[in-house]
Amino acid sequence: MMKVKLKLKEFFDNFVKVMLRPEMAILPGQLAYFFVLAIVPTITLISYEAALLNLSTDVIFDFIGSAFSPDIANMLLNTTDANKGGFGFFMVIVVGYFIASNGPASIIVTSNTIYGEKQEGFFRRRLKAIIMTFFLVLLFIFMLIVPVFGNKIVKLFEFVNLNSSITKNVGTVMLFLQGPITWLIMYFFIKILYTMAPNKRVRSKNVGYGALFTSVSWIIITYIYSYYINNIAHYSTFYGGLANLVILMFWIYLLAYAFTIGMALNYRKEEVELEKTGTINLNK
Protein backbone atom coordinates (compact mmCIF):
# COMPACT_ATOMS: atom_id res chain seq x y z
CA MET A 1 0.00 0.00 0.00
CA MET A 2 2.87 2.33 0.85
CA LYS A 3 4.49 1.63 -2.52
CA VAL A 4 1.26 2.54 -4.31
CA LYS A 5 1.08 5.85 -2.42
CA LEU A 6 4.70 6.62 -3.30
CA LYS A 7 4.07 5.79 -6.96
CA LEU A 8 0.99 8.03 -7.03
CA LYS A 9 2.90 10.84 -5.32
CA GLU A 10 5.73 10.49 -7.85
CA PHE A 11 3.25 10.54 -10.73
CA PHE A 12 1.46 13.67 -9.50
CA ASP A 13 4.77 15.42 -8.81
CA ASN A 14 5.92 14.66 -12.35
CA PHE A 15 2.52 15.65 -13.75
CA VAL A 16 2.57 19.06 -12.03
CA LYS A 17 6.13 19.77 -13.17
CA VAL A 18 5.22 18.80 -16.74
CA MET A 19 2.14 21.04 -16.74
CA LEU A 20 4.22 23.99 -15.51
CA ARG A 21 6.59 23.77 -18.49
CA PRO A 22 6.20 26.83 -20.80
CA GLU A 23 5.96 24.59 -23.88
CA MET A 24 2.69 23.07 -22.62
CA ALA A 25 0.91 26.34 -23.39
CA ILE A 26 1.95 26.15 -27.06
CA LEU A 27 2.74 22.61 -28.24
CA PRO A 28 -0.72 20.96 -27.80
CA GLY A 29 -2.38 23.68 -29.90
CA GLN A 30 0.23 23.35 -32.66
CA LEU A 31 -0.11 19.58 -32.64
CA ALA A 32 -3.93 19.79 -32.76
CA TYR A 33 -3.75 22.22 -35.72
CA PHE A 34 -1.74 19.77 -37.81
CA PHE A 35 -3.96 16.88 -36.66
CA VAL A 36 -6.95 18.80 -38.06
CA LEU A 37 -5.11 19.32 -41.36
CA ALA A 38 -4.26 15.64 -41.52
CA ILE A 39 -7.61 14.12 -40.53
CA VAL A 40 -9.36 14.08 -43.93
CA PRO A 41 -6.35 12.64 -45.85
CA THR A 42 -5.87 10.10 -43.06
CA ILE A 43 -9.50 8.96 -43.22
CA THR A 44 -9.16 8.76 -47.03
CA LEU A 45 -6.24 6.37 -46.55
CA ILE A 46 -8.14 4.38 -43.92
CA SER A 47 -11.17 4.11 -46.22
CA TYR A 48 -8.99 2.87 -49.07
CA GLU A 49 -7.15 0.33 -46.92
CA ALA A 50 -10.46 -0.83 -45.44
CA ALA A 51 -11.80 -1.36 -48.97
CA LEU A 52 -8.76 -3.53 -49.77
CA LEU A 53 -9.64 -5.62 -46.70
CA ASN A 54 -13.28 -5.84 -47.88
CA LEU A 55 -14.51 -3.84 -44.90
CA SER A 56 -17.78 -2.03 -45.51
CA THR A 57 -17.89 1.76 -45.22
CA ASP A 58 -20.62 1.13 -42.63
CA VAL A 59 -17.88 -0.19 -40.33
CA ILE A 60 -15.93 3.06 -40.73
CA PHE A 61 -19.12 5.08 -40.28
CA ASP A 62 -19.95 3.27 -37.02
CA PHE A 63 -16.35 3.65 -35.81
CA ILE A 64 -16.26 7.43 -36.40
CA GLY A 65 -19.87 7.90 -35.31
CA SER A 66 -19.23 6.21 -31.97
CA ALA A 67 -16.37 8.61 -31.23
CA PHE A 68 -17.97 11.79 -32.54
CA SER A 69 -21.52 11.72 -33.83
CA PRO A 70 -23.33 10.40 -36.95
CA ASP A 71 -23.34 13.93 -38.41
CA ILE A 72 -19.55 14.21 -38.19
CA ALA A 73 -19.15 10.70 -39.64
CA ASN A 74 -21.30 11.74 -42.60
CA MET A 75 -19.29 14.92 -43.09
CA LEU A 76 -15.91 13.17 -43.05
CA LEU A 77 -16.89 10.17 -45.17
CA ASN A 78 -18.60 12.34 -47.76
CA THR A 79 -15.38 14.33 -48.02
CA THR A 80 -13.39 11.18 -48.75
CA ASP A 81 -15.83 9.84 -51.36
CA ALA A 82 -14.01 9.02 -54.59
CA ASN A 83 -13.77 6.42 -57.35
CA LYS A 84 -11.39 3.81 -56.07
CA GLY A 85 -9.25 3.03 -59.07
CA GLY A 86 -7.19 4.56 -61.84
CA PHE A 87 -4.22 6.87 -61.91
CA GLY A 88 -6.23 9.82 -60.61
CA PHE A 89 -7.18 8.05 -57.41
CA PHE A 90 -3.62 6.76 -57.02
CA MET A 91 -2.41 10.37 -57.09
CA VAL A 92 -5.08 11.32 -54.54
CA ILE A 93 -3.72 8.61 -52.22
CA VAL A 94 -0.10 9.74 -52.70
CA VAL A 95 -0.92 13.41 -52.10
CA GLY A 96 -3.24 12.47 -49.23
CA TYR A 97 -0.48 10.40 -47.65
CA PHE A 98 1.92 13.34 -47.89
CA ILE A 99 -0.60 15.78 -46.38
CA ALA A 100 -1.57 13.29 -43.67
CA SER A 101 2.10 13.11 -42.66
CA ASN A 102 1.77 16.71 -41.39
CA GLY A 103 0.33 15.26 -38.19
CA PRO A 104 3.28 12.94 -37.43
CA ALA A 105 5.70 15.68 -38.59
CA SER A 106 4.25 17.91 -35.90
CA ILE A 107 4.67 15.06 -33.39
CA ILE A 108 8.37 14.92 -34.31
CA VAL A 109 8.81 18.68 -33.83
CA THR A 110 6.92 18.52 -30.52
CA SER A 111 9.01 15.62 -29.22
CA ASN A 112 12.31 17.27 -30.18
CA THR A 113 11.19 20.45 -28.40
CA ILE A 114 10.32 18.51 -25.24
CA TYR A 115 13.53 16.46 -25.31
CA GLY A 116 15.64 19.53 -26.12
CA GLU A 117 16.94 17.98 -29.33
CA LYS A 118 17.96 19.81 -32.50
CA GLN A 119 15.28 19.67 -35.22
CA GLU A 120 16.07 17.48 -38.22
CA GLY A 121 16.19 18.71 -41.82
CA PHE A 122 12.91 18.90 -43.75
CA PHE A 123 13.40 15.81 -45.92
CA ARG A 124 14.65 13.57 -43.13
CA ARG A 125 11.80 14.69 -40.86
CA ARG A 126 9.25 14.19 -43.63
CA LEU A 127 10.52 10.67 -44.37
CA LYS A 128 10.19 9.74 -40.70
CA ALA A 129 6.73 11.36 -40.62
CA ILE A 130 5.59 9.27 -43.61
CA ILE A 131 6.71 6.08 -41.84
CA MET A 132 4.87 7.19 -38.69
CA THR A 133 1.77 7.93 -40.80
CA PHE A 134 1.85 4.31 -41.94
CA PHE A 135 1.74 3.17 -38.30
CA LEU A 136 -1.11 5.59 -37.55
CA VAL A 137 -3.16 4.21 -40.43
CA LEU A 138 -2.38 0.68 -39.22
CA LEU A 139 -3.59 1.66 -35.74
CA PHE A 140 -6.98 2.77 -37.03
CA ILE A 141 -7.25 -0.24 -39.36
CA PHE A 142 -6.67 -2.61 -36.42
CA MET A 143 -9.23 -0.69 -34.37
CA LEU A 144 -11.69 -1.25 -37.23
CA ILE A 145 -10.83 -4.93 -37.64
CA VAL A 146 -11.15 -5.98 -33.97
CA PRO A 147 -14.96 -5.56 -33.70
CA VAL A 148 -15.48 -6.99 -37.21
CA PHE A 149 -13.32 -10.01 -36.34
CA GLY A 150 -15.37 -10.58 -33.19
CA ASN A 151 -18.63 -10.47 -35.15
CA LYS A 152 -17.22 -12.95 -37.70
CA ILE A 153 -16.43 -15.44 -34.92
CA VAL A 154 -19.97 -15.16 -33.54
CA LYS A 155 -21.44 -15.67 -37.04
CA LEU A 156 -19.20 -18.72 -37.51
CA PHE A 157 -20.64 -20.29 -34.35
CA GLU A 158 -24.14 -19.48 -35.60
CA PHE A 159 -23.33 -21.02 -39.00
CA VAL A 160 -22.25 -24.39 -37.54
CA ASN A 161 -25.52 -24.48 -35.55
CA LEU A 162 -23.99 -24.80 -32.11
CA ASN A 163 -26.12 -24.56 -29.01
CA SER A 164 -27.67 -21.09 -28.81
CA SER A 165 -26.43 -20.61 -25.24
CA ILE A 166 -22.85 -21.34 -26.37
CA THR A 167 -23.19 -18.85 -29.22
CA LYS A 168 -24.58 -16.27 -26.82
CA ASN A 169 -21.72 -16.84 -24.37
CA VAL A 170 -19.14 -16.53 -27.16
CA GLY A 171 -20.78 -13.29 -28.27
CA THR A 172 -20.64 -11.94 -24.71
CA VAL A 173 -16.95 -12.86 -24.37
CA MET A 174 -16.05 -11.26 -27.71
CA LEU A 175 -17.98 -8.12 -26.80
CA PHE A 176 -16.10 -7.97 -23.50
CA LEU A 177 -12.70 -8.53 -25.16
CA GLN A 178 -13.17 -5.95 -27.94
CA GLY A 179 -12.48 -3.07 -25.58
CA PRO A 180 -9.31 -4.42 -23.90
CA ILE A 181 -7.86 -5.68 -27.21
CA THR A 182 -8.48 -2.30 -28.86
CA TRP A 183 -6.92 -0.49 -25.89
CA LEU A 184 -3.87 -2.78 -25.98
CA ILE A 185 -3.40 -2.12 -29.70
CA MET A 186 -3.70 1.62 -29.07
CA TYR A 187 -1.09 1.45 -26.29
CA PHE A 188 1.30 -0.53 -28.50
CA PHE A 189 1.12 1.93 -31.41
CA ILE A 190 1.43 4.99 -29.15
CA LYS A 191 4.62 3.43 -27.77
CA ILE A 192 5.92 3.10 -31.33
CA LEU A 193 5.20 6.77 -32.05
CA TYR A 194 6.84 7.90 -28.80
CA THR A 195 9.90 5.78 -29.60
CA MET A 196 10.27 6.97 -33.20
CA ALA A 197 9.46 10.67 -32.82
CA PRO A 198 12.44 12.19 -30.91
CA ASN A 199 15.69 12.87 -32.74
CA LYS A 200 17.51 10.63 -30.27
CA ARG A 201 17.54 6.98 -29.37
CA VAL A 202 14.67 6.25 -27.01
CA ARG A 203 14.14 2.72 -25.73
CA SER A 204 10.66 1.28 -25.91
CA LYS A 205 10.67 0.45 -22.19
CA ASN A 206 11.27 4.13 -21.38
CA VAL A 207 8.07 5.33 -23.07
CA GLY A 208 5.60 2.94 -21.45
CA TYR A 209 4.90 5.45 -18.66
CA GLY A 210 3.63 8.17 -21.01
CA ALA A 211 2.04 5.71 -23.44
CA LEU A 212 -0.10 4.28 -20.64
CA PHE A 213 -1.14 7.78 -19.54
CA THR A 214 -2.01 8.77 -23.12
CA SER A 215 -3.94 5.56 -23.82
CA VAL A 216 -6.02 5.87 -20.66
CA SER A 217 -6.56 9.60 -21.28
CA TRP A 218 -7.68 9.01 -24.88
CA ILE A 219 -10.14 6.33 -23.76
CA ILE A 220 -11.59 8.51 -20.99
CA ILE A 221 -11.74 11.65 -23.17
CA THR A 222 -13.41 9.78 -26.03
CA TYR A 223 -16.01 8.03 -23.89
CA ILE A 224 -16.91 11.10 -21.82
CA TYR A 225 -17.03 13.37 -24.83
CA SER A 226 -18.97 10.85 -26.91
CA TYR A 227 -21.56 10.62 -24.14
CA TYR A 228 -21.61 14.40 -23.82
CA ILE A 229 -22.24 15.16 -27.48
CA ASN A 230 -24.83 12.41 -27.86
CA ASN A 231 -26.81 13.01 -24.67
CA ILE A 232 -26.17 16.49 -23.28
CA ALA A 233 -24.71 19.02 -25.70
CA HIS A 234 -26.83 21.05 -28.09
CA TYR A 235 -24.22 22.90 -30.06
CA SER A 236 -26.55 23.68 -32.95
CA THR A 237 -28.37 26.19 -30.72
CA PHE A 238 -25.25 28.34 -30.53
CA TYR A 239 -23.13 27.45 -33.56
CA GLY A 240 -25.62 26.35 -36.22
CA GLY A 241 -23.85 24.65 -39.12
CA LEU A 242 -20.45 24.95 -37.40
CA ALA A 243 -21.49 22.52 -34.65
CA ASN A 244 -19.75 19.52 -36.21
CA LEU A 245 -16.49 21.39 -36.71
CA VAL A 246 -16.53 22.69 -33.13
CA ILE A 247 -17.01 19.16 -31.80
CA LEU A 248 -14.31 17.72 -34.05
CA MET A 249 -11.69 20.39 -33.29
CA PHE A 250 -12.26 20.36 -29.53
CA TRP A 251 -12.00 16.56 -29.38
CA ILE A 252 -8.76 16.61 -31.39
CA TYR A 253 -7.33 19.36 -29.17
CA LEU A 254 -7.97 17.28 -26.05
CA LEU A 255 -6.30 14.25 -27.64
CA ALA A 256 -3.31 16.36 -28.71
CA TYR A 257 -3.00 17.78 -25.19
CA ALA A 258 -3.02 14.30 -23.63
CA PHE A 259 -0.50 13.08 -26.23
CA THR A 260 1.86 15.97 -25.45
CA ILE A 261 1.55 15.42 -21.69
CA GLY A 262 2.36 11.72 -22.15
CA MET A 263 5.47 12.59 -24.14
CA ALA A 264 6.57 15.13 -21.53
CA LEU A 265 5.97 12.58 -18.75
CA ASN A 266 8.33 10.16 -20.52
CA TYR A 267 11.02 12.82 -20.67
CA ARG A 268 10.44 13.82 -17.04
CA LYS A 269 10.72 10.19 -15.90
CA GLU A 270 13.94 9.83 -17.89
CA GLU A 271 15.31 12.96 -16.17
CA VAL A 272 14.42 11.61 -12.72
CA GLU A 273 16.11 8.27 -13.45
CA LEU A 274 19.25 10.05 -14.67
CA GLU A 275 19.21 12.16 -11.51
CA LYS A 276 19.04 9.00 -9.37
CA THR A 277 22.08 7.55 -11.15
CA GLY A 278 23.97 10.83 -10.73
CA THR A 279 24.25 11.42 -14.49
CA ILE A 280 22.56 14.83 -14.29
CA ASN A 281 21.41 17.17 -11.55
CA LEU A 282 17.89 18.51 -11.99
CA ASN A 283 18.40 21.16 -9.33
CA LYS A 284 21.05 23.01 -11.28
- DSSP per position, the chain: -HHHHHHHHHHHHHHHHHHTSGGGGTHHHHHHHHHHHHHHHHHHHHHHHHHHTT--HHHHHHHHHHHS-HHHHHHHHHHT-----HHHHHHHHHHHHHHHTHHHHHHHHHHHHHHTPPPPPHHHHHHHHHHHHHHHHHHHHHHHHHHHHHHHHHHHHHHTT--HHHHHHHHHHHHHHHHHHHHHHHHHHHHHHHHHSSSS---GGGSHHHHHHHHHHHHHHHHHHHHHHHHT--THHHHGGGHHHHHHHHHHHHHHHHHHHHHHHHHHHHHHHHHHHTS--TT-
* Burial group, residue 271, by CB count within 10 angstroms (0-12, 13-18, 19+): middle
pLDDT for res 284? 42
pLDDT of residue 283: 46
End-to-end CA distance of the chain: 33
37 contacts 103 by C-beta, under 8 angstroms: yes
- 234 in Cβ contact with 247 (< 8 Å): no
Report pTM: 0.72
State residue 212's pLDDT score. 92
Q: In the chain, where are the structural domains located?
A: 22-277
User: What residues of the chain score a pLDDT lower than 50?
Assistant: 82-83, 281-284
* Cα torsion angle, 228, 193, 34, 108, sign: positive
